[in-house]
Chain A
Amino acid sequence: MNFINNITRVTSLLGIASLLLAYTTNVSHSGSNPNPQGVNKMKSGYHWATAPTREMQDDDFSNPAFLWVDIGSEQWTTKDGEAGKSCASCHSGVETMKGVAATYPKYSAEDGKLRAVQHQINNCRTQQMKAKPWKWESDNMLGVAALVKNQSKGMPIKVKVTGEAQPFYNKGKKSYMLRRGGLDMSCKNCHMDYTDTRIRANILSNGLGNGFPTYRLKWQKIGSLHRRFRGCNKNVRATPFKSGSDVYTNLELFLTAHAMGMEIETPSVRN
């Protein structure tokens, strides 16, 4: 009798202990989680940003990415190339770009593959303006891309992943799941399996692109999503692909589809 009593006591104690454990883990999550969506839903990188970083992003003035948006506004009306046109010649005001970036990367029948915003800008430059294409990571390119995406700020991401875009989405998914590099790790390993845990001093985010081009404090400047991909690839000791390559554009579509419905934050500030 005594023995049974003891067992029940032990089990009830265990029960309380496991309850407590569950309680504390819940608390630790909700403590760092003002987003009521819960831990299993996708969250923007803003969620993991520290308070000072958020403060920088929230004020359009203190956000240093706007230095590049200013460059973009200037470039928007600057005539270039043999056709003597500027972006404004065809598109008039940049406000007309509202909502456009939310649908990129997009399938282009002309190219037979996906186009990111940057590809579209360069396509306009070479086809319409007869000007030289910009380099992916140049100030002008980042500026105009950030400006165009900024017009859709606060709008939900709405990319097409069916129909013609489907094979590219599948390719993107495949490269997201593919283990690579000396560390034999895929994007999924960090950004899906271990979200919310620490990787050295950083907390792993869902790794979404809804705030790109972003002002990254580490870079001390604005940078594209593809630059971030390159950084991730190097971290797992893999040879990075080129910015603007098909692999990265497909991956961008997969990530953007992940963030479907999430608000665009461009230009965001991240650590």
Chain B
Amino acid sequence: MAKKPRIKVPKTAKSGETILIKTLMSHKMETGVRKNKKTGKLIPRKIINKFVCKFNGKEVMSADLHPAVAANPYFAFYAKATESGTFDFEWIEDGGKTITASGDIVVT
């Protein structure tokens, strides 16, 4: 069964307020240096190499990930609430596959 990413965006916020956004992605983060114990062959690298967070289509935060990052990468960051809208999260895996999630916020 595919595990889903967990995201936490506050449902409401006051205008100008600093909000904390948390994301937890379920991923094995295969480094590419491990060997298959039986065959001795390298297990190909498969990690999430990029994480992007957009607010109403505009990028607010992004990160490049490398093989030393542990499994199930967790990101927490702050943003300033200015208007209501949607946070779109995107995790890009080696090979180009993307996993997305989104969270809405109402700013009063």
If A62-B76, A221-B71 touch, whether A71 touches B6 (CB-CB below 8 Å) is no
Chain B residue with Cβ nearest A74: B1
Q: Is A137 an interface residue (CB 8 A)?
A: no
Within 8 Å of chain B (Cβ to Cβ): is A61? Answer: yes
Q: Which of A61, A217, A221 contacts B24 (CB 8 A)?
A: A61
Contact in complex: A139, B1 (CB < 8 Å): yes
Whole-angstrom distance between the Cβ of A235 and the nearest chain B Cβ: 18
Say whether A66 faces chain B, with CB atoms less than 8 Å apart.
yes
Is A27 among interface residues, defined by CB-CB distance under 8 A? Answer: no
Residues of B within 8 A of A66 (CB): 6, 24
Among B1, B4, B22, B74, which residue has its beta carbon within 8 angstroms of that of A64?
Answer: B74
Interface residues of B in 18-63 (CB under 8 A from A): 22, 24, 26, 28-29
Answer yes or no: B97 CB below 8 A from chain A CBs.
no
B71–A61 CB distance below 8 A: no
Cβ-closest chain A residue relative to B74: A62
Main secondary structure of the interface of A (DSSP, over half): helix
Docked CA distance A221–B32 (Å):
18
In the complex, chain B residues whose CB is within 8 Å of the CB of A61: 6, 8, 22, 24
Which positions 135-172 of chain A face chain B at CB distance < 8 Å? 139-140
* Chain A contact residues, CB within 8 Å of chain B: 61-62, 64, 66-68, 70-71, 74, 139-140, 217, 220-221
A to B CB contacts below 8 Å, 19 in the list: A61-B6, A61-B8, A61-B22, A61-B24, A62-B24, A64-B26, A64-B71, A64-B72, A64-B74, A66-B6, A66-B24, A68-B3, A70-B3, A70-B4, A70-B6, A139-B1, A220-B29, A220-B70, A220-B72
